Amino acid sequence: MRNVAPPWPEVTAGDERYPRPDLVRPYWTDLCGLWGFAEDPEDRGLRERWQDRSDPYDRSIVVPFPPESTLSGIADGEPKPIVWYRRSVHRDASLALSDSERLVLHFGAVDYRATVWVNGQRVGEHEGGHTPFSLDVSDALALHPDVLVVVVRAEDPPADADQPRGKQTSMRWAAGLFHERTTGIWQPVWLERRPQLALERLAWTPDVPAARIRLAVQLTAVPARPLVLGVTLRLGDEILAEQTLRLCAQSGELELTLEAAADGRQLARLLWSPEQPTLLDADVRLSECRRELDRVRSYTGLRSVEVFDSRFLLNGRVYPIRGVLGQGYWPDSHLAAPSSAALRREVSSRSWGSTRSASTRRSRTRASCTGVTASACSCGPRCPAPPGSRPPRSSG
């Protein structure tokens, strides 16, 4: 008998626990917390197969805080070229798979090169310290279906000039405008149960003058048969728009017309602005012959952004831009925000038009800022591409 779905995380209602609020599913397990931890300064771990052993992990670390930070429980600022993590997870009913489902392991960010094993099987690798990645770990469950042993090896060479690092110091200690390194896992880690053919990405584009919102979707694979994509937009209990699309490819687009937004008397209550941060709930469904294959929840906002006569306009109104730089750095947790409440406080303290040194915190920041009357531009670590430099990549 199939277990009953748990309550959906309510993003626009302020539920900040779910790590990916723009693509929400009910079956997931948070893997933040205590992990085994080991440093590997002599690069012995691969040779000695630490992915198959528990004894090398002689310390504990609180994920997702980097080992240089106080909140990690390690608080050691010395350079760590290679670190290892280990965590055992017992699968409960929420992660029990049917024949048409997969188990996916998500990482918000690992600085800088990550290799991941599950139950001793190498499931993938990723390069890029500020980009999220996901790995399908279903095939690693064959020998140990009830337990997952997740092992992560992270390389973060402090002297690699080709490696983008933003304001992280490449010296032994931070000085001047540079701050401490952020090594290894520094964003949330979680497991998710999803259908084999599933919604993978949603992109919302509002068009205020036309009273429409466009949705672009991407699936995990090309469907073997035509599918139906269904979308419903709500404001509270009020249904604003519904639309369906026949989907025969891995990606597609549809437009939803908001009749209420076409009425000038109602438009103001639907627009997002710092004074009235209205967000619309979205229910997105993928089905075949009336059988639901996947369903996710998301959210979007209705607003227009433009530049006219060297002035920034939001919803046709002029908003002055103040170029205040928010570092996105906390003394006790470094680049990893100490909590969702800290993200809210950070954004609440910024004036309109602040610039944040942000990166993969984007989705968590958006959820944490629901109802907060502020907005920000964001920037990530960039550097000129030297000869032989490598773009972020992942495999698995």
Taking only the tens place, the pLDDT of each residue in 6-19 is: 555 554 544 557 88
Type of residue at 250:
Q
Task: For residue 338, give the nearest of 32, 106, 79 by alpha carbon.
Answer: 32
Is 28 in a helix, a strand, or coil? strand
Q: Walk me through the domains of the chain, giving residue ranges and CATH numbers.
A: 28-195 (2.60.120.260), 203-300 (2.60.40.10), 305-379 (no CATH)
In 215-337, where does DSSP find H-type helix? 259-262, 264-270
Work out the average pLDDT over 218-233.
97
Phi and psi angles of residue 47, each rounded to the nearest 5 degrees, phi first: -65, -35
How large is the C-alpha radius of gyration of the chain? 22
Residue 392: predicted pLDDT: 42
pTM here? 0.85
Q: What share of the chain is helix, strand, coil (3-state, %, to 5)?
A: 10, 40, 50
Query: How many CB atoms within 10 Å of residue 74?
Result: 22
Work out the average pLDDT over 191-196.
96
Query: How many CB atoms within 10 Å of residue 177?
Result: 8
CA dist 72 and 63 (Å) reads 7
Residue 322 pLDDT level (bands cut at 50, 70, 90): confident
Q: Encode pLDDT of 245-270 as tens digits.
A: 999 999 999 999 999 999 888 999 99
Q: Is 329 exposed, middle or buried (0-12, 13-18, 19+ CB in 10 A)?
A: middle
Work out the average pLDDT over 293-298.
96
Kindly list the distances between the CA atom of residue 21 and the CA atoms of 15, 64, 172, 361, in Å, as whole numbers in the listed order. Answer: 9, 18, 37, 12
Residue 362 pLDDT level (bands cut at 50, 70, 90): very low
Phi and psi angles of residue 78, each rounded to the nearest 5 degrees, phi first: -65, 145
Kindly list the distances between the CA atom of residue 341 and the CA atoms of 162, 345, 346, 369, 382, in Å, as whole numbers in the listed order. Answer: 35, 6, 9, 9, 28
Residue 39 pLDDT greater than 50, yes or no: yes
Work out the average pLDDT over 140-148.
87
Residue 138: predicted pLDDT: 95
Q: How far is Cα of residue 242 from the mean position of the Cα atoms in its chain?
A: 27
Question: Buried b vs exposed e over 31-44: b needs ≥16 C-beta within 10 Å?
Answer: bbeebbbbbbeeee
CA dist 115 and 308 (Å) reads 47
Which strand (E) or helix (H) includes residue 367?
Answer: helix 362-368
Residue 204: predicted pLDDT: 97
Task: For residue 186, give the nearest of 158, 161, 154 by alpha carbon.
Answer: 154
Residue 395 pLDDT level (bands cut at 50, 70, 90): low
Range with lowest mean pLDDT among 11-15, 145-149, 234-238, 243-247: 11-15
